[in-house]
Structures are given as structure tokens and as C-alpha cells.
Amino acid sequence: MRLPRRAALGLLPLLLLLPPAPKAAKKPTPCQRCRGLVDKFNQGLVDTAKKNFGGGNTAWEEKTLSKYESSEIRLLEILEGLCESSDFECNQMLEAQEEHLEAWWLQLKNEYPDLLEWFCVKTLKVCCSPGTYGPDCLACQGGSQRPCSGNGHCSGDGSRQGDGSCRCHVGYQGPLCTDCMDGYFSSLRNETHSVCTACDESCKTCSGPTNTDCGECEVGWVLDEGACVDVDECAAETPPCSAAQFCKNANGSYTCEECDSSCVGCTGEGPGNCKECIPGYAREHGQCADVDECSLAEKACVRKNENCYNTPGSYVCVCPDGFEETEDACVPPAEAEATEEESLTQLPAHEDL
């Protein structure tokens, strides 16, 4: 049934309020599924390694263990633990490839001890050997032994995917990850290895590890007598921070920090570095401290019976509980009642109509 146009428009705000649909989990590749199965199989080997070995009659148990070690019973125990009952894809793959695993276990594992290589690379052809990539398992850039010169990750390494190009680690660049990025220098370079080491933090480019080896200084640093040194931005003629902040220098930079709440302008952290104090505060022992107006010789609260309470930077005047508040006094309860009765007696009598 098609909704009337007005009804459909009425649903629009509700649809806009709905949370976005969760992103579907990325489906594992055939190679990832195969590797996962092999990893679980290898864990099963570990878990069953000495299952029938208890440490009693050693000669008998070693003979028994040698039989169990390569038995179909052990294989069955490993296979039963490979997949969770709810893992449909794992169980589907196991059902389809159980004969291959059985053949490897009973006939081929001595000749091909690496299950991953035999099962995923050579038999199912869903993975490649380390250092190779793509449908034909070609060698990665830099060779399969040290892809990307050991300084990066080969796209598709170990899978039937990718293009074999290098994604270099931090500090390295170039098609084979043998060149150094800005901020790094070559500390070792030969036919097989290239090592890039970080420059001193003051250098944008460098030829060595210290601030005297800079080719160019980083922002916030300046060349001085052959070395890159920090610029103290806080010492500039025009301060970089606002009047309510103080400047804190850092290597290659600075930060603006808020003054203490008791300050009108400041030169550093805390009430001891105020230029002036805000109203309600006064300098005491070298720092801005709250003035207790309630303890001054001149009374802050001038109404009769009124209580004074000091607050940070100020004070409040409050009548005691039960007292009646008037413009010029806090009247005690008894006096307030007497005043009220006196007022009533002074009211003119009503004349009878």
C-alpha cells in the first residue's frame, strides 16, 4: 500500500532522527579464512600434544603417545575443536576441505610440515608465500626475502591480492623504502640495508643526530652559531598571549595558559604571579588573597542584627533564621509580633451600616 503524500512527509522527521545503520563487518578474504583455520589447527596440535602422557609408566606411555601422536583419533579431536557451532563460514570451509586435511595428516605432513604453505598456498591457492603477492604470487618490491628492504609493508604480501607496491614505515620513502624522509638521516646504507634515524627535534633536514647537523631548522627554531636553537616566543616585544593569559615557552613552540582567577593580568601560574588583584582581593605575603570584608573594622553589613558571611572576592549580608527582614534591620520574632499587634490596634473601627 502506498502512503498518502502528506503521511509520507510526516514520517520524514522521524526517519531523520533514526540512528545510521551500523556498517557491515568487513568480510574476510579466502586467504584470511584459510589462515584462520590453519591457526586453529596448529593450536589444536598444541592442546593435544601430551594428552595421553601422564608421567607414570614412561616407556609404556611414550609408546602409546607415539601412536596417538599421528592417529586418526587425535585428528578427529583437533577437527572437532576448529569451528564454533555458530561460525557458519568456518564450518562450511571445514566440511569442504576435510579430506585435504585428513590426507595431509595421514600421508603428507612429514613431506610438507608447513600446513599453511601446503594447504592455503599450494593446494587451495588462496594465499601466497611470505614476500609474494597477487594471483601469480610474484615477488614483492625489493624481493621476497626482504620486501620493501625491510622498511615497509608490501601490498598484498602473503595473499592473492594487492599490487606488490611498498607502504613505507615512518621515516622512509621511495619505491623500495630505502630513502629517508625529511626529519631523518641515513645512518646506514649498503647494498642490502638502509637505516634512517630521526634528526634532532630542532632540524627539518639533517645529516646527523645533533642540532649542529641541521640542514634547515624546524619552525620555532633558528640557526645561531651553527646550531638550531629554540626561539623564545614569550620574550617577544609584543606578547603572543591575551591580557588574561601568561606565555609558557616550549621547545619549538609556546602555550598560552590562563591566569589565576584572582589576577588582573599575570606573569606566570598561580596567585603569586598576578600583576594586579581583582576587586575583593588584596596582595598578602606576595600573592593575591581574598579580603575578609566581615572582619574589617568598618562593618560591611550595617543593618541591625544582620549576619555577615565572607565569600571569595565578596561577602553576603543575611538575617538570622526566624528574623524578619526590613529595609534597615533584622527584626527578632518577638519584636515583629509586638509590632504587628500594635499595628492592628491602631486600625480605625468599622462603623455599622
- Compute the distance between CA of residue 86 and CA of residue 60 in angstroms, rounded to an integer: 40
Q: Does the pLDDT of residue 164 top 70, yes or no?
A: yes
The identity of residue 134, as a single letter, is: G
**Which of 7-21, 80-94, 135-149: highest mean pLDDT?**
135-149
Query: Taking the model in full, what pTM does it have?
Result: 0.63
**Which of 17-26, 150-159, 232-241, 320-329: highest mean pLDDT?**
150-159
Q: Does the pLDDT of residue 351 top 70, yes or no?
A: no
Residue-level pLDDT at 89:
87
Going by C-alpha positions, the residue among 159, 152, 160 that lies closest to residue 179 is 152
Sequence-distant (6+) residues with CB within 8 A of 205 are 182, 183, 199, 214, 215, 216
Q: Does the pLDDT of residue 124 top 80, yes or no?
A: yes
Residue-level pLDDT at 22:
60
Contact assessment for residue 55 and residue 70, using Cβ atoms and an 8 Å cutoff: no
Residue-level pLDDT at 3:
45
Mean pLDDT value across residues 172-187 = 96
How many other C-beta atoms can be found within 10 angstroms of the C-beta atom of residue 133? Answer: 26
Q: Does the pLDDT of residue 147 top 90, yes or no?
A: yes
For all residues of the chain together, what is the average pLDDT?
A: 87
Residue-level pLDDT at 8:
46
Residue-level pLDDT at 170:
97
Name the least confident of 26-40, 115-129, 195-209: 26-40
Residue-level pLDDT at 68:
85
For residues 316 and 52, which has the higher predicted lDDT (pLDDT)?
316
For residues 331 and 54, which has the higher predicted lDDT (pLDDT)?
331
Band of the pLDDT at 18, cuts 50, 70, 90?
A: low
Handedness of CA 63, 67, 68, 70 (dihedral sign): positive
